[in-house]
Structure 1
Amino acid sequence: MTAPRRPLPQWARDASLGIFVHWGPYSVPAWAEPMRALGAVPDDEWFAHNAYAEWYANTIRLEGSPAAEHHALTYGDAPYEDFLDAWRAEAYDPADWARLFRAVGADYVVPTTKHHDGVALWDAPGSGDLTTVARGPRRDLIAPLADAVRAEGLRFGVYYSGGLDWSFTDLPPHRSSDDVAALRPTDAAYAAYAHAHVADLVDRYRPDLIWNDIDWPDAAKQPGPHSIESLLAHYRDAVPEGIVNDRWGAKVWDYRTSEYDHDTDHEADAGWEHCRGLGFSFGYNRVEDASLTLSPRELARLYADVVSRGGRLLLNVGPTAAGEIPDVQRRTLEGVAPWMTAVKPHTIGRRVIDSDAVEVTDATWWRAWATPDGLVAVVDGPAASARARDGRAVTTFVLPN
């Protein structure tokens, strides 16, 4: 299935920073082995040693995995759904989140609305009691965040796991990438279920962006009332400037994505997006301390690298089960905020340039891009200087300490 490519709307071309939010029942155990980044670990090792806390429901099913051992020692044989009932979100303050995201320079915010565990964070149609309205927090967690984000002048998107739903099927756990492709719901019943979910998200929240994950049920890749084509037609009618990512298992995307060290070959087309957490996990992992979390300096360097190559950075935060941004993550965001506030205006209308367009001296690392007003250089080194070989003005920023 192929859809004609559309040019990205101006807001997406100018955007350079999004905030991802992974929050779910997995935030209650909040545990994963902080192995290394996705893409830097062999596939036959990754799944049993999964660094993603949001994959907890899968990893604890793998006999002998560190997560299974941790679960048995901490929770015995308690089923994963117990974490939904234990989740309270008692400290959730979406206005505080939104203020923090705006302060760090975010252009858009994308929370998870349903992850692979199948738990919906709103009153999703057909989900029964597997929602935060029916159990746990007992309320819609998406609507107040959408309102708070937009009140701060940011755009609002939604994440949805269309490819995996461990609550919908009784399939074996995933032990490899091949399993992810093979052991997923693909039939007409799940296609109708997922279609109803995303259509409801569109109708309720009018998201500026839909971030689908893994794939989409195969039954929906053919024409019909629950097809991807009909779903995206509904979306684009409701939100003409709305955009979708590239994880549908079909060529319907508006932009490509990479994740940590995975799919870096996608970092080429205009408007590509790189996503990662502040640590190795997306969901909150209580094991990740400051040594496993990007510092303000490391975050600034990552951002400058992505921007210089024409991309956007979708940076994840993983709130605690209570709804607080962990101190170790908040320190990085607040620490980089002054630097980001200074740099962000110089990313509007940016264009990629050849490295030889700029001459940089006394820098151990640097990145540069063009804007309508000249060139911008980000350098590592307080004594570094930059000049354009064609005489254009260069605005220089030094990485924060």
Structure 2
Amino acid sequence: MSAGGRSLPHWAGDASLGIFVHWGPYSVPAWAEPTGALGAVPDDEWFAHNAYAEWYANTIRIEGSPAAEHHAREFGGAPYADFLDDWHAEAYDPVEWARLFRDVGADYVVPTTKHHDGVALWDAPGSGDLTTVARGPRRDLISPLADAVRAEGLRFGVYYSGGLDWAFTDFPPHRSSDEVTSLRPTDAAYNAYAHAHVVDLIDRFRPDLIWNDIDWPDAGKQPGSHSLESLLAHYREVVPGGIVNDRWGADVWDYRTSEYDHDTAHEASVGWEHCRGLGFSFGYNRVEDESLTLSPRELARLYADVVSRGGRLLLNVGPTAAGEIPAVQRRTLEGVAPWMSRVKPLTVDRRMLAPGEIEVTDASWWRAWRTADRLVVVTDSADAAVRPVDGDEVVLVTLPA
């Protein structure tokens, strides 16, 4: 049940895998220090040593940070905005992306439409030249992906950074989580700007899901024509089965989210969603090789764990500036696809097991859930033995090699 008393629609209850896509001017430098997972690195270290390549515009402004040193060495300290002009998306093939996502077993796809750098990937109203239509790729990157995703039978959502917009403000760089909270645009002008963007996304794309990030401008939390309340009322009217996440800074969410090792307390109720990249970054980080990227087996194990605890996995893909899925990420996605084709149908109409419903031996790791007519058990050993308490039919699935 959501904060507003709304049950998740059936499609969201059955969904178990989404694909996140972080793509922007930050994909040109494509660099971050791979320090570790969000939530596992102390807050006083995280921002100067940020593992998120999509935070490049912030990290390079922190004096003495490895990113600032990298930027000075590789790009001569050029303005971040130059990367928008250097981004051409010349190999972008949304149809091929959508087919890959379908083959992996995705239920829905959520691209970034505007990240914290303020660059919109469609001709967003009022954005001037801070769009991929006005500069760089010189085209709308969202519409063809929406069409391709839906042509493959998947649902389509949108990510929008409502809480941060570094192009809209002149605050100093964020050096702590407290500064993310305090140094953000909260005024009526930014609220009207963000409100118009999201209304346009709703009216153009009718997204099945809106994934807001960080917060929402405080001015929009008051009653009025540009209020968050009116925005979401419009969304519910246009997309009655649509859902929203929990990152609005207001009690309007339909489901809770966690991210890497952050906000894991939200992984409690049915319908929660865990998001992370294949490596430590969401945006493409050229530093992340196979040793820093989930293997097919590791991804399968993560997926089974999330599903068994009543959640959905929102797995991120970070394309190159050209628009290619990096080989190291494709290796994992294509490698896990055959396993997912077997397991994915076994997640429909699932529910969590009660303690003591099954006994599993001869396996060092296992996860399980119940469907309408059977128990599904994923183990790390083909020799595992499963004994259900009530004699139910058991489907035993071994993790990929």
Query: Which bracket does the TM-score occupy, shorter chain normalised?
Result: over 0.9
Query: Is contact 2:3–2:254 with CA below 8 Å preserved after alignment?
Result: no
Give the equivalent residue in structure 2 for 1:198: 198
Kindly report which structure 2 residues correspond to 1:2-401, keeping only aligned pairs within 5 A, or say none: 4-401=4-401
User: Is this contact kept in 1: 2:4–2:253, CA < 8 A?
Assistant: no
The CA distance in 1 between the partners of 2:32 and 2:375, in whole Å, is: 42
Is the Cα–Cα contact under 8 Å of residues 160 and 210 in structure 1 kept in the other structure? yes
Corresponding residue pairs, total: 400
**Distance in 2 between the 1:69 and 1:25 partners?**
19
Runs of 4+ in 1 over 3 A off after TM superposition: none
Aligned partners of 2:201 and 2:178: how far apart in 1? 30
Question: Aligned equivalents of 1:30 and 1:59: distance in 2?
Answer: 13
Mark the runs of 5 or more structure 2 residues left unpaired by the alignment: none
Give unmatched runs, 5+ long, in structure 1: none
1:177-219 deviation per Cα after TM superposition (whole angstroms, max 9, x unaligned): 0000000000000000000000000011000000000000000
Q: Tell me how far 1:247 sits from its aligned partner.
A: 0.0
Name the CA distance, whole Å, in 2 between partners of 1:381 and 1:324.
Answer: 35
Deviation at 1:385, TM superposition (A): 2.2
AA paired with 1:141?
Answer: L
Contact 1:5 1:253 in 2 (8 A): no
One-letter identity of the residue aligned with 2:101: F
Using the aligned pairs only, state the percent identity: 82
CA distance in 2: counterparts of 1:86 and 1:391, whole angstroms: 62
Aligned equivalents of 1:270, 1:360: Cα separation in 2: 24
Relative to structure 1, is the Cα distance of residues 33 and 386 closer, same or farther in structure 2, using a 3 angstrom cutoff?
same
State the 1:223 CA deviation. Answer: 0.5
Summarize deviations over 1:111-160 as a string: whole Å, max 9, x none. Answer: 00000000000000000000000000000000000000000000000000
Structure 2 distance, partners of 1:58, 1:47, is 8
CA offset digits 1:363-389 (Å, max 9, x no partner)? 110000000011100001121121211
Counterparts of 1:257 and 1:5 in 2: how far apart (Å)?
17
What SS does structure 1 have at the residue aligned with 2:356?
helix
Structure 2: how far apart are the matches of 1:13 and 1:121?
29
TM-score computed with the length of structure 1 as normaliser? 0.99
Cα contact 2:274–2:314 (8 A) shared by 1: yes
Residue 3 of structure 1 deviates from its aligned partner by: 6.3
* TM-score when normalising by structure 2: 0.99
Alignment partners' CA distance in 2, 1:3 and 1:13: 16
- SS of 2:366's equivalent? strand
RMSD: 0.8
Distance 2:356 2:118 in 1: 49
Taking a change above 3 Å as real, the CA distance of residues 10 and 129 of structure 1, as seen in their structure-2 partners, is: same
In 2, the alpha carbon distance for the partners of 1:258 and 1:204 equals 28
* 1:355, distance to aligned residue in structure 2 (A): 4.1
The residue matched to 2:310 in structure 1 has which SS? Answer: coil
